[in-house]
């Protein structure tokens, strides 16, 4: 069993009542080129005016790649941690911690086959042109 944790915006997040907020998912494409996207639209615990809206995508034909698209983080992630961890062997790769570097439009990807072992890079992986949202506004 895979024991990997992905932290696209580890913070005290909640789904504010009586809003469109939530955690949604969508899949697209056909085998072997499918992608599944999870969409977080949440508020900060204790302050609903601060919210996080981001997408996380996984690709069938690129099982070692994960992409995070930050649509809007009202505080640019100043109190968030972004990273990935393999709990089985205590390996991790951290992109940021408590830094305001997640502005709207920031796209980062993680590829665990790059050197050094597991690396973050800016933008979409090769062959990916967009990340579809899961919420149909």
Domain residue spans in the chain?
4-122
Q: Please state, in angstroms and rounded to a whole number, the distance separating the CA atoms of residues 50 and 48.
A: 5
Neighbouring-strand partners of residue 106: 70
Residue 114: per-residue pLDDT = 64
Question: Which residue is listed with tokens 């080129």?
Answer: 33
Mind listing the pLDDT tens digit for each residue in 112-123? 776 555 678 888
Mind listing the pLDDT tens digit for each residue in 57-94? 999 999 888 999 999 999 999 999 999 887 776 778 88
């Amino acid at each position: 069993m895979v024991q990997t944790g992905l932290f696209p915006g580890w913070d005290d997040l909640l789904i504010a009542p009586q809003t469109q907020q939530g955690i949604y998912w969508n899949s697209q494409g056909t085998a072997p080129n499918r992608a599944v996207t999870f969409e977080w639209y949440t508020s900060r615990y204790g302050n609903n005016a601060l919210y996080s809206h981001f997408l996380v995508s996984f690709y069938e034909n690129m099982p070692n790649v994960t992409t995070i698209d930050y649509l809007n983080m009202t505080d640019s992630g100043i109190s968030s941690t972004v990273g990935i961890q393999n709990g089985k062997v205590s390996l991790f790769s951290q992109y940021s911690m408590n830094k305001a570097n997640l502005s709207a439009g920031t796209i980062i990807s993680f590829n665990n086959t790059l050197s050094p072992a597991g690396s973050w890079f800016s933008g979409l992986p090769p062959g990916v042109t967009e990340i579809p949202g899961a919420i149909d506004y």
